[in-house]
Amino acid sequence: MRPGRGLTVTLFVVSVVYLLGALRISTPEGQYAAVGPGAFPLAIGLGLVCCLLWMGLRPDRGPRVVVVDWRAGVLSAAVFLIYLILLDVVGYLAATVPFVTIESRLLGSRAWRRDLIVSVAITASVYALFQLVLGFRLPPGLFG
């Protein structure tokens, strides 16, 4: 497989699944619609498949060369995932402070102490703005 084709192939598979899903959408019984709920998704699915075939079959334009540090990207995504799970368990305040600190380190910062102070400040001010001023309810968790 030529480099840069991974996305085309993945999206092609997704599009075929989408198209098959579109074929299974039916108008609910006892309802009339000149154009049913499945027609539009069907057209989009066909469009996607054609577009990806076009991209897959034409001569390669040579994708923009971007140096990707996969380790940093995956780590950053993993930390985010853990954060989302923790959000429900320990609440917004307890989850966000360590998250912002660790995430800024992953993004290249090397000053632990400053990052910690900044993340406490960001978390506290966002919390104050949403929960206290605007009256939204944030995930309560441990510190309600």
Partner 1 sequence: MGALGQLGDHLTVGFGAALVPLNLLFGAIGVTMGTAIGVLPGIGPALTISLLLPLTFGMDPVGAFILFGGIYYGAMYGGSTTSILVRMPGEASSVMTAVDGFQMTQKGRGGAALATAAVGSFIAGTFATVMLMLAAPVLVELALGFGPAEYAALMVLALTALGGLAGGDVAKGLLAVLLGLALGTVGIDVQTGQARFTFGVLGLLGGLNVVTVTVGLFAVGEVFWYAATRQTSSAERAQINGSVWLTRAEWRRSVPAWFRGTVIGFFTGILPGAGATVASFLAYDAERRVSPMPDEFGRGAIEGVAGPEAANNASAGGSLVPLLALGIPGSGTTAVMLAAFQMYGLQPGPLLFAQESRLVWGLIASLYISNVLLLVLNLPLIRVWVRLLQVPSSLLFAAVLAFATLGIYTLNNSVFDVFVVYALGVVAFFLRKHSVPLAPVVLGVVLGPLLEQQFRRAVAISGGDLSVFVTRPVSAAILLCALAAVTVPPVVRYVTSRPR
Among 73, 112, 128, 143, binds partner 1 (CB under 8 A): 73
What residues have CB less than 8 Å from 99, skipping those under 6 apart? 79, 80, 83, 86, 119
Among 9, 13, 25, 128, binds partner 1 (CB under 8 A): 25
State the CB neighbour count (10 A cutoff) for residue 51.
Answer: 14
1 counts as binding partner 1 under rule CB under 8 A:
no
CA distance 142 to 94: 8
Give Cα separations from 130 to 52, 99, 117, 138 (angstroms).
43, 18, 20, 8
Q: From the CB of 2, what's the least distance to partner 1, in Å?
A: 12
- Applying the rule CB under 8 A, the residues between 80 and 119 that interact with partner 1 are 80-81, 83-84, 87-88, 92, 96, 99-101, 103-109, 115, 118-119
20 counts as binding partner 1 under rule CB under 8 A:
no
143 counts as binding partner 1 under rule CB under 8 A:
no
